[in-house]
Amino acid sequence: MNELVETLIGDSAATPPDRVLEGINEEFAHRATAGSPHTIYEEVWHLAFWQQVTLDWINEIDTPCPEHASHGFPSEEAKHRENWDSLRHRFLEGTQLAASVARDETWMKRMIQCPSPPGKPTRTMTVREQLESLTAHNAYHVGRIVLLRQINGSWPPAAGGFTW
C-alpha cells in the first residue's frame, strides 16, 4: 500500500478513520462538548462534504467551491435528514473511493480544475495534489474527533488507537 493510501485509510501517522469512529452512537455523535464549536457528527459531515467535493473534482464533475466556510457544515435540517450510522458509512465509503484513486498512478498524474471561493481563480493541479490536500484536511478534522473523544472519556476505542 502506498503512503497516500495509508494516510487516507490506514494507520500511517495516526489511528485509521474507521477506528476513530468506532463505538460512537447517535447520542454521542450529536453531543455538544464545552469549548468545541462542533459535535462529532458535524465534524464527520464536514469531512464527508469536502471529500465528496474532492471526488467530484477528480471525476471532472463541475462542483463549485462554497461561498462561505459555514456551507461546509450541516444545517439543522441536514442533521435530522441523515442519521449517524448513514453519515459514518458515507464518509468511510468516500475514504475507500479516494484510496482507490490513490492506488492508480496514471490517474494520479492527471491535471484537474479545482474551483476556489468566489472572487479567486480556479486552481489547476494534479489528482495527487488534490488528494494530498484531502488527506491533510481529513487528518486535521479526524484529530479534532479524537480530541472530542478524549475530552469525553471515550478514547481509545475498543480496537485501539494511538494514546500518546
| pLDDT tens track for 60-84 | 999 999 888 889 999 999 999 999 9
Give the bridge partners for 144, in sequence order.
none
Burial code of 43-55, b = ≥16 C-beta within 10 A, e = fewer?
bbbbbbbbbbbbb
Alpha-carbon span 32 to 153, nearest angstrom: 14
The class level of CATH for 3-151 reads mainly alpha
Band of pLDDT at residue 27, cut at 50, 70 and 90: very high
Alpha-carbon span 15 to 26, nearest angstrom: 21
In the chain, where the domains are located: 3-151
Give pLDDT, residue 74: 96
Alpha-carbon span 51 to 65, nearest angstrom: 12
Alpha-carbon span 83 to 80, nearest angstrom: 7
Q: What is the pTM of this model?
A: 0.95
Average pLDDT over residues 19-44: 97
Instruction: List, for residues 86-135, the tens digit of each pLDDT value.
Output: 999 999 999 999 999 999 999 999 999 999 988 899 999 999 999 999 99
**What is the chain's mean pLDDT, rounded?**
94
- Cell output for 44: 464527520
Band of pLDDT at residue 148, cut at 50, 70 and 90: very high
